[in-house]
Amino acid sequence: MSKSLHMINEPNKQQSSKTRLNQQLNSTGELEESAKLSPKILRLTQQPLWDLAFRPWFLVSTLSSVLSIALWVLFLHGYLPALATAGLTPVAWHIHEMLFGFGATIAVAFLLTAAQTWTNKRSINGATLLNLTLIWLAVRLLLWSDDPRVQVLAIVLQGVWWLTCIGFLASMVISAKSRRNYQFIPLLSVIMLLNMSFLIADYSGNNELALHLARTAILTFGLLVGIVGGRVIPFFTGRGASNAKVVATPILDKALPVVTIIGACIFFSGYFVELPFTPAIVLISAGTIHLLRLWYWDPISTRKVPLLWSLHAAYLALGLGLIALGLSYFTDLIRFADALHLITIGTIGGMILAMIARVSLGHTGRPLKPHPSINIAFALIFIGTLVRFILPLLQMPVLSWDISALCWITAFSIFIWHYARILMSERAS
């Protein structure tokens, strides 16, 4: 297990070395950049919020997700007709804001923050981070416009955000020869291309293609979760759960990316060419591999540690979600879209909440002891996941939307309430 990855969530043990690193970094390139800024802007960019990407992006992304889900439910009940005349189609807007505006942003924030630890090179901060955040906020607003020129601007700005983030991450890991982390560059690049193609397709009126691209992106997110989760979940479990018996799974670890990529490629290609087979068996196989890995990580041992069982539950949702997606090809009882929400809510939402609750504490020098109400937030995410999948099977789709939305809004509102001050404050240590 790479020591550098663990440091992102266990920073207190590395405090002295990190302090020296920050002193060295702050005395070089940052001072040169700061000299070009006006005093007011300089004071703003030196606030703790702009120290690393996880601080502003965890905050704005979770807040955006709460607002987006609230607006989506209002639209579904006929109280927000303006969404129907916005630039993106309503479903595309909902997908984009939750998958790319929320999920991808937090994933990028985590990787950019972790990369500083992996490479001992200063990650995005200060004025650059502030400008990228403003670009991100601008895209959120521009997506509501039906003016083609504004829509082009939204696509361009979204591309600028992606290219800057990926370029910065690539420069850090390549210059440091952190070969173990090279894989994140093509992975994020694929998600970026799917994001840009999604916007172009929907703005062009090809809504079905946009939906297909989004579903492909979700499968790609599953690969990202498999890689990151495969590193952090067994490590955290071994260190944080009493009497945990975590067993390494090298064969499964090597097989999982191959099977996942094959499944995603078959699914993606099936829209454009008629294939003699579906990705069903490959998706079920990938889900089974995830469940086998999870079994070897001893999930039962984590039942008394919320920061751990929440990670295991999110990973469980990924395995079950992929299996349900595969089964949806064989039976009409399971709708592909409902199965997909096992991953979008349970895996992406659950994994993100579990990780940001941990990272926000550990990387600001605070003990890994979240407020007790965060445990309620973890539970709500998985209750919402089950409701969103099971109630449609019982012919109650509207109720499933309402309950799962309420669970999401409450869960991430709890996070914002307890973590906004932490993310905007100096390191406790």
Look over the chain and give the mean of its residue pLDDT values, rounded to a whole number.
91
Burial (0-12, 13-18, 19+ Cβ within 10 Å), 400 = buried
Output b/e per residue, 190-218; b: 16+ Cβ within 10 A. Answer: bbbebbbbbbbbbbeeeeebbbbbbbbbb
Q: Where are the domains of the chain?
A: 3-424
Q: Under CATH, to which class is 3-424 assigned?
A: mainly alpha
Q: What is the 3-state secondary structure (H, E, C) of 85-105?
A: HCCCCHHHHHHHHHHHHHHHH
> What is the mean predicted confidence (pLDDT) over 375-383?
97
CB–CB of 98/104 below 8 Å?
Answer: no
**pLDDT, tens only, 134-184:** 999 999 999 999 999 999 999 999 999 999 999 999 999 999 999 999 999
**pLDDT, tens only, 357-374:** 999 999 999 998 999 999
d(CA 165, CA 163): 6
> What is the mean predicted confidence (pLDDT) over 223-244?
93
d(CA 360, CA 9): 8
d(CA 92, CA 345): 17
Share of the chain above pLDDT 90, in %: 84
Confidence grade of residue 255 (pLDDT, cut at 50, 70, 90)? very high
Question: In this predicted structure, what is the pLDDT of residue 44?
Answer: 82
Four-point Cα dihedral 153, 163, 41, 416, nearest 10: 90
Question: In this predicted structure, what is the pLDDT of residue 37?
Answer: 66
**pLDDT, tens only, 48-88:** 999 999 999 999 999 999 999 999 999 999 998 888 877 89
